[in-house]
Amino acid sequence: MNKTVPVSKKLHVKTYGCQMNVYDSARMADVMAPHGYASSDRVDDADLVILNTCHIREKATEKVYSELGRLRLMKEEAARQGRRMLIAVAGCVAQAEGEEIVRRAPVVDMVFGPQTYHRLPELVIRALGRDGGRGAGVVDTEFPAEDKFDHLPEESQGQGPAAFLSIQEGCDKFCTFCVVPYTRGAEFSRPATAILQEARRLVASGTLEITLLGQNVNAYHGAGPDGRDWGLGRLIRALAEIDGLARIRYTTSHPRDMDDDLIAAHGEVPALMPYLHLPVQSGSDRVLDTMNRGHTAADYRRIVDRLRAARPDLALSSDFIVGFPGEGDRDFADTLKLVREIGYAQAYSFKYSARPGTPAASVADQLSEAAKSDRLEALQQLLNAQQRAFNEAAVGSVQPVLFERRGNRPGQLVGRGPWMQSVHAEAPDRLLGVQVDVAIALGGANSLSGRIVTVDVDPVTPSPLPPPAERVPA
Ligand code: 5AD
Ligand code: SF4
Q: What is the pTM of this model?
A: 0.87
- CATH classification of the domain holding 219: 3.30.750.210
Which residues of the chain fall short of a pLDDT of 50?
A: 1-5, 457-474
- Report whether residue 23 contacts ligand 1, using a CB cutoff of 6 Å: no
Q: Whose CA is nearest to atom 5 of ligand 2?
A: 173
Phi, psi (rounded to 5 degrees) for 97: -90, -35
- Report whether residue 174 contacts ligand 2, using a CB cutoff of 6 Å: yes
Point out the ligand nearest to the CA of residue 183. Answer: 2
Number of residues that this document lists for the chain: 474
Q: Which of 291, 292, 319 to mutate to test the pocket of ligand 1 (most atoms within 8 A of CB)?
A: 319
Give pLDDT, residue 471. 32
Q: Which amino acid is at 279?
A: P
- Report whether residue 324 contacts ligand 1, using a CB cutoff of 6 Å: no
Give pLDDT, residue 455. 60
Specify the pairing of strand 37-39 against strand 398-406: unpaired
Phi, psi (rounded to 5 degrees) for 49: -115, 125
Phi, psi (rounded to 5 degrees) for 208: -110, -25
Q: Which of 218, 277, 321 to mutate to test the pocket of ligand 1 (most atoms within 8 A of CB)?
A: 321
Least Cα distance to 152 among 184, 190, 186 occurs for 190
Point out the ligand nearest to the CA of residue 216. Answer: 2
Give pLDDT, residue 154. 77
Together in a domain, 258 and 243:
yes
Give pLDDT, residue 131. 58
Together in a domain, 380 and 315:
yes
The answer to whether 46 and 8 have CB atoms below 8 angstroms apart is no
- Report whether residue 251 contacts ligand 2, using a CB cutoff of 6 Å: no
Q: What angle in degrees, to the nearest 10, is found between the helix axes of 120-128 and 19-32?
A: 60
Q: Whose CA is nearest to atom 1 of ligand 2?
A: 178
Domain edge (last residue) among 251, 273, 295: 273
| Model pLDDT for residues 145-187, shown as the tens digit of each residue | 677 777 777 776 778 999 999 999 999 999 999 998 988 889 9
Residue 87 lies in a domain: yes
Q: How far is the CA of 173 from the centre of ligand 2 (A)?
A: 6
The answer to whether 44 and 12 have CB atoms below 8 angstroms apart is no
- CATH classification of the domain holding 87: 3.40.50.12160
Q: How many domains does the chain have?
A: 4
334 vs 286: CA distance, rounded Å: 10
Together in a domain, 302 and 368:
yes
- Report whether residue 182 contacts ligand 2, using a CB cutoff of 6 Å: no
Q: How far is the CA of 67 from the centre of ligand 2 (A)?
A: 27
Q: Whose CA is nearest to atom 7 of ligand 1?
A: 178
322 vs 352: CA distance, rounded Å: 6
The answer to whether 210 and 202 have CB atoms below 8 angstroms apart is yes
Least Cα distance to 88 among 184, 180, 11 occurs for 11
Together in a domain, 23 and 73:
yes
Give pLDDT, residue 420. 97
Phi, psi (rounded to 5 degrees) for 437: -75, 135
- CATH classification of the domain holding 360: 3.30.750.200
Residue 151 lies in a domain: no
- Report whether residue 353 contacts ligand 1, using a CB cutoff of 6 Å: yes
Angle at 118 between CA 111 and CA 28, to 5 degrees: 75
433 vs 208: CA distance, rounded Å: 8
Structural domain of residue 200, as residue ranges? 158-273
Q: Which residues of 325-351 are buried (b: 16+ CB within 10 A; e: fewer)?
A: bbbeeebbebbbebbeebebbbbebbb
C-alpha pair distances (Å), 59 with each of 65, 75, 151, 323: 10, 24, 33, 17
